[in-house]
Structure 1
């Protein structure tokens, strides 16, 4: 038989058995942590309180209204801060650097622009275009030209035709005989070009005279009303200037007028002054810098027997070599069209 332990031995065995009892404490702690984690997860899924849904508290609170005196003081401080010695928020050094920068910038831009203009003016001639290989044939203009190419008047009503007579007078004033005698020379080489290419490029070219008196009954010297008071109106036709252009290829350019819409017999007889041609002696044109006193030749047309109260659409055309007068896109190229209604 085994001996029974004594009381002392029993206590010692009891003390030796106590340490394994700590394991349940660890299990409890671990279980407690799991409980806390579960509580946190539950808290995350809990619905928000009403205070949490109140977003008004996150809005920016309005600033208190400032008085006019405070605003004026702030403006004064912004313009000049006596404490920091700053003008409009910048010190004197800062303003100096800014002004220096912009002065250098704009000086550079001005120099670059001036250099570009200088190179451009240096590369082109002021007397003739560098490229003129696409110059179109000349167009034609007419006078009087008031708010379109419409001439409507009654011969017995001075108010209805006075504006046309005034326009004719303005167009013919540079052709006064006295002015032509002073400025231009009398040319005798009819039917030939007046070439002056042998002169220096910058030398002034002479121009042939074209006197107002050559227009006869349409000159305004015999009849200051240009036939409008008699129901026999006059118009002026002029070919556009083109620098260096030689019209007709050696032959004069002829002018004709015909009815485009309306009865042809209503047009009656036409008179042309001084002739129905543009003489070659007025060409070529050398530009306004060299042909200072140049006067473009004109052809005056007088409708001496036009039928009263008959609307007519009349077309006057240039005819000659190298002339285009039937362009579908440009009605002023080599021709001009106008309406004429003469009342009694």
Structure 2
């Protein structure tokens, strides 16, 4: 018998499936839960009720809650009576479990709509995400092409392009934006909002990183810091803006431009490798792993995402040491060995964990 914790989770995932917002990993989780016959039956009841009762969020909350409650209970009892000779005991359990699930889970669903009075529409969220060690690409409804790096999540509303073109990013992505002067393209990260028209740029905004980086390849972008929306930074082609996410980290700010009037920012020129037209910040779109004067602490994070394993550095002096290199197709061991030759460190491998030692 499945636990009520699993039931509660099933209810939450079914809700997300119907009203939007179900992420790719959650789809897999839901598929696994629905392999249980009992859960599959509950799912069919759930979908039938809410497909016919979707207007409930446009009417009185208490009235709607009671209507949906009775509707679901009635459908469960009807199914139980129809099958009582064949699977009477089983379906009675289903009726009780589903009803309890409904009573417990109603708070999960209605809590999201309790404060909504007269919504015009439910806007579904579309999500594209990658795990560590994987990358993907897609084309948005407006024709904008997006390359998504490892361990990244990109979301946008189902109404993308109707009034504006906004996406939310956690991780790293390269954007080749379709031109549309009437509808600027906006990338929302935790610490910055990047506004573009027709342009190409790379945004790196991993939550564990102390910096959010915007690299402009061509065109024009305007960057607004979320902590100070009144101040905006205009980037020119072949420039990179690096914003220190934690204001207290002052010693990482180099080449600060005083005329910008802001602390904790850096604007530098983008660098191209010899005999290559693609800047370093976009090399990952060609499956090339690049380090340019990168601290070993940050190199370890890059390697962890790139190869889907854990790279640990405990020594503070090693963490601060900088490395450069371009790798294409090498294994993690080959990359570590190459860095070891130039950096003078040792390492040990234990399954999926690499520990770098002095």
TM-score bin (small chain): under 0.3
The structure having more radius of gyration, on CA atoms, is 1
Q: Which has the higher strand share?
A: 2
User: If the length of structure 2 is used for normalisation, what is the TM-score?
Assistant: 0.19
